[in-house]
Amino acid sequence: MTIGENLIIAPMVMADNDKFTDFLEHDANAYDLHGLEVGDQLQFINDDDLNFIHRVESDQILYHDQGRKRAKMVEKYLMGDLLGEGSYGKVKEVLDTETLCRRAVKILKKKRLRRIPNGETNVKREIQLLKRLHHRNIVKLIEVLYNEEKQKIYPFVSYLLSRIYCLAYSLYRYMIMEYCADELQSMLESAPEKKFPIWQSHLYFVQLIDGLEYLHSNSVIHKDIKPGNLLVTLDQVLKITDLGVAEALDMFSKDDTCKTSQGSPAFQPPEIANGLETFQGFKVDIWSAGVTLYNMTTGLYPFEGENVYRLFENIGKGEYTIPDTVDKMLSSLLTEMLQYQASKRITIAEIKQHDWYRKKFPRTCDIVPFPCHPELDDQLRCMTVLPYIEDLHLGMYSDDEEYEESEDKLDLQPVQHTPVEGNGTQVNSHKTNEIVEETIPNSKQKKHKTKSSARRFKFSACSQS
C-alpha cells in the first residue's frame, strides 16, 4: 500500500452483530494528498461498534494441560497427584510397585522446616515415635527416605493427609505412610451444620479413646488432639497423627508431669491457659478429646475468643455452656471431661465405663461423607496414580525437577531402620541399602536408555505369578 491510494480495509465481523459499516477515510491535510473522490468507499468499523474486544479477568482464564502426565519414581514408589499441602510440606499419593499397596508420601524440605519454630526437632521426634508405635488407630510409618544431594525427604506412610517431617541432617525427606481418605476437620467443614450425626461422632470418639489409651500405655502424651490431626480411612477407621509436639515420658518417671505445651490454643486446658509451670500430661489429652467431642456433636467450640488472649482468658475461667439439644448422657460425659481442675477430670478407664461410651448407636442414612477434593473433584477417592502407570508402561518415563534432576544421578538412601508391615498383611521387602537403577538415571545415560529401562519395568508383585 502506498500513500495516495485508497485504503481498502477488509470487512470484520462484530462481536454483537454481523453488520458491516461502510466508512470513508481520507485525510488530505495530513498527507497533503488530493484527488480522493467522495465516492471512494472504504469498508471499516464504526467507532460505536468497537466492542469485539472484551475484558477477561485473570481468574476466568482456564488453562488446559494437554500433555500426558509423566511418571515419576522415587525408589520403588510411583508418584501420584498432590493430595494436600501444609506448613511442613506437600503430601502426595504414591503406589508401592512391589506390593501394589496404596500409600501417601510426605515431602519435607529442610529449608522450609528451618523457618518453622522447632520444625526439624518436631519432625525428628515424630519419626522416632512412629517407629515404635503400632496400633490400629495410630497412623503407620512405613519407611523414610532422604536425599542429601537434593535435600528432600520421602516419608511413606499409609496415611494420606498427615503432616510432613524430615530428619535434621537431610534437606529433602520422604515419609511413606499408610493412606487415609481425609481428616475430620475437612469433613466437619463440609457438613451443613458443621457437625456429625450422633452415631458417626460416637464411632470416631470410641476409636480416639482407644488410640489415646495405647499412647498413654506407652508413656506418650500427644498434646495436640483436635479434628485436624485425626484422619479417617476409606473404611471409616480413625487414625491419630501429627506427633511432632508429643512428649515421651521417661520410663522411670513417677507420674505424667509435663512442663511444655505447643498445642492448638482452642484445645488447651485451663492449667495451660493460666500459665502453670507444670501440669498432668494425660489430663491434657482428656481435655482436648472432650473439646473434640463437643465440636463433633454440636458444631461449636466450648470456648471462643476474638484473639488468642481472649480465648485463653475464657478458657482460664472455665465457664462454658452445653446446648439443650445434647442428650443427658452425652452432656454428663462432656462435663466430666471438661472439668476445670485436672485432678477431678475423668480418666480414660472411666470414660470407657461411661454409659454414652458403651451405648450402641444404630447407623442411619444421615452421614457426613468425604468432601470432594478441591482439585481432583473426586468424592470416592479413586487412585490418582493410574495415569502415571499408563505412562510408565508406554515408555514415556521422564524425570521431574521436583524429585530428580535429568543430568545428575540421585543418591536416595533410606533411613536405616527395621522395615514395618505395610498394611498389616504384607511386609515391605524393599532393602534399605538398594537403589533401583531403572528409576534413577545416570547423568551419562542418554534419554533413549532411560525410556528403554522404563519399558522393561515390571511390578514385582505381578511378576511373581
User: How many CA atoms within 13 Å lie on the side-chain side of 168?
Assistant: 9
Give me the helices (H) in 299-384, please: 308-317, 328-337, 348-351, 355-358
Task: Give the closest residue to 371 by CA, choosing from 188, 244, 133, 246.
Answer: 188
Give me the helices (H) in 65-173, please: 110-113, 119-132
Note whether 430 and 412 are within 8 A (CB): no
Which residues are part of the catalytic machinery?
A: 224
Alpha-carbon dihedral 291, 296, 302, 305, rounded to 10 degrees: 100
- Give CA–CA dist 236/238, Å, rounded: 6
- Alpha-carbon torsion (362, 190, 237, 287), positive or negative: negative
Note whether 329 and 356 are within 8 A (CB): yes
- Give CA–CA dist 442/454, Å, rounded: 14
Cell 487412585 sits at which residue? 383
Q: What are phi and psi of 248, to 5 degrees?
A: -95, 120
Cell of 162: 498427615
Note whether 246 and 223 are within 8 A (CB): yes
Cell of 303: 470456648
What number of H helices and E strands is found in the chain?
A: 14, 16
